[in-house]
Structure 1
């Protein structure tokens, strides 16, 4: 083995820190794991950087593995000891029951946001796994599972403000959210929206963001009910597969709506313009997938009718060549008459996380 000092180990600390901070998270982890054995000062500097990150990802597909592919508890404990006292947001990917049980050996006092995705967890283990998460992270305010959850186990999370739920393991009498009185942001899929669930949603006193899918026929009557009972509270709304003929009048009630995300919808120019022109504080519109407007003039007419709009984002939309106005007349007229700039994103709505999440809900 070459025992000569490695070049990077000879660089001063400031230069090492610049290099470390330039790397992506996965590369930082591998540098941390490998430098432990050949470059102690570099390892110390990588640990310094990792300890100051508020967000971490534990991906058990590649982390903590030995050469034979088995899990190294020693490596895992060393890494968790490095980050556990400072991490605030944690993502658990490809996590198993054994991984969760091993996490119990550590304390995470600052965790406030949690995401997880199971690997090889049987349905009979969901309750036990969720109970372990509740015990591990008692003070979280944000929870995003890519797996079924049981709300009965979650009642100890008294400070929960944000909740994403795609496959709730409902109790016989239906899912109730009455325990989560601090809940401000809720994202659910179409299977969540039952009558019993909606009653508890409508009674949440602090709810401000409600994102949902409306593919199933039984949800068609629920959207008007939600919007009519809580129109002044909702400032951010996302949904997919809406029938504008049914829901436009209800959407016009959202006078405090600031951000609207439309996923896989069919936009009619007259309906879309009427909607945005009647939402007085609307600041951001995200259009993800679906069928777009017929021509560029319709787009700029809608922009011109919404003076509060600051951000327009278009993502995953096929726009034909004949959509565009070569003279740029309508765009110039709409923008020249605005009192504030308009920021326009294409292929980056700023809602990429939501886009990915909604695609998972539909699969």
Structure 2
């Protein structure tokens, strides 16, 4: 979907030119980013309706004193069929609930939202995706409201207290949860106890090493595992974690130092009989990495019923990988793997929903 970006400098002092631009785009515009437009420019939108607009990223100008969220009221009136909204700034969120077609709402960088706002949003909107933050003192009210979103499939929050996990885990259609753990081990342990059998994909940024294998024992249906910036995680420790996931089909290591030598890589392949893809991105492979037992590699790959895809991207040693990793059941690609990056100390879990 083509995206249009409006910056305050573009039409500063040229309001008539902005009028002409908006008039020419009102019938075709579908995706718009508004960045820090001052009040006199935002008010030009109030004359028009954009019937085909579906996606809006609105970064409010925090220097303007919008009375009663009048800028949000303009958005409500101008974009009646909006389906996705990312909102940044000091808005109190008073009018968001009036955008009844919104299914994807990102208000994680709104610092002034009221509890009434989130309660109205959750009561009136049939959200599928919600990105939000809250003050710890308001978490109970926020979680209570969010727990009523029976169609919610994806939830992203910054910090969650342990007491909130049972309610969130009962969301019937939840497929993806992204949280910053702040090294609170009990948080993930409770998720694993309540929904471990439903977790099919997990991504960690410098945090996998925090939890013992006991935490991961319920997660035996995990298929995809992504590890980013695994400082503090040795192969010995990681191997114990991997053994908790007997159905793994894909492992992705980003900026990883887990493997000292390729022997450990082939050990990983040997203990994951269902592994289809092993991806390594931005990993520095030193010469010592390639001092490995080639016979062991051959024996591991000989046992496989299907070829293994080894996908490397910016590993610093493409020539050596091609030269030394040769086998009929090994396919090597040098390209980036599409995945969702997660922030430091964050985790992303994907579930089979409680209800289809």
User: Which one of the candidate residues 60, 64, 78 is aligned to 1:106?
Assistant: 78
Listed as ranges, the matches of 1:123-138 within 5 Å are: 125-128=90-93, 131-136=94-99, 138=100
2:25 maps to what in 1?
79
Match of 1:185 in 2: 154
The structure showing larger relative contact order (alpha-carbon pairs under 8 Å, at least 6 residues apart) is 2
Determine the C-alpha separation between the residues in 2 that align with 1:187 and 1:332. 43
Work out which of the residue numbers 7, 10, 21 in structure 2 matches 1:65: 10
Residue equivalent to 2:343: 358
Is the Cα contact below 8 Å between 1:248 and 1:271 reproduced in 2? no
In structure 2, runs of 5+ residues without a counterpart are 31-50, 315-335, 348-356
User: Aligned-pair distance for 1:309?
Assistant: 2.1
Shift of 1:155: 1.0
Q: Deviations for 1:318-354, whole angstroms, at most 9, x for unmatched residues?
A: 3333222477555444434322233324253312xx3
Show CA shifts across 1:290-314 (max 9, x none): 5332221111211222122223333
Q: Could you tell me how far 1:67 is from its partner in structure 2?
A: 7.5
**TM-score normalized with structure 2 length:** 0.67
Provide, for residues 221-250 of structure 1, a one-character-per-residue CA deviation record: whole Å limited to 9, x for no partner: 111111011112222222333263633222
Q: What residue number does 2:44 align with? A: none
Aligned length: 288
The answer as to whether partners of 1:208 and 1:236 remain within 8 angstroms in 2 is no
CA shift at 1:184, angstroms?
A: 2.7
Q: Does 1:141 align with 2:113?
A: no
Asked whether the 8 Å contact 1:211–1:239 carries over to 2, the reply is no
CA contact (8 A) 1:112 1:140 kept: yes
Per-residue CA deviations over 1:17-71 (Å, capped at 9, x if unaligned) read xxxxxxxxxxxxxxxxxxxxxxxxxxxxxxxxxxxxxx35343338x93385778
Greater helix fraction, Structure 1 or Structure 2? 1
Q: 2: distance between equivalents of 1:220 and 1:298?
A: 27
Aligned to 1:222, the other structure's residue is in SS state: helix
SS at match of 2:28: helix
Task: Report if the CA contact (8 A) 2:162-2:186 is conserved.
Answer: no
Q: Tell me the residue number matched to 1:295.
A: 261
Partner Cα separation in structure 1 for residue 14 and residue 294 of structure 2 = 58
Shift in CA distance, 73/173, structure 1 to aligned 2, threshold 3 Å: same
The correspondence for 2:246, drawn from 280, 283, 289, is 280
Task: Kindly state the Cα deviation for residue 202 of structure 1 after the two structures are TM-superposed.
Answer: 2.3
SS of equivalent to 2:242: helix
Over the aligned positions, Cα root-mean-square deviation in angstroms equals: 3.5
Higher fraction of strand: 2
Partner SS for 1:74: helix
Tell me the CA shift for residue 82 of structure 1: 0.8
Where does the alignment leave 5 or more consecutive residues of structure 1 unmatched? 1-54
Q: Secondary structure at the match of 1:186?
A: strand
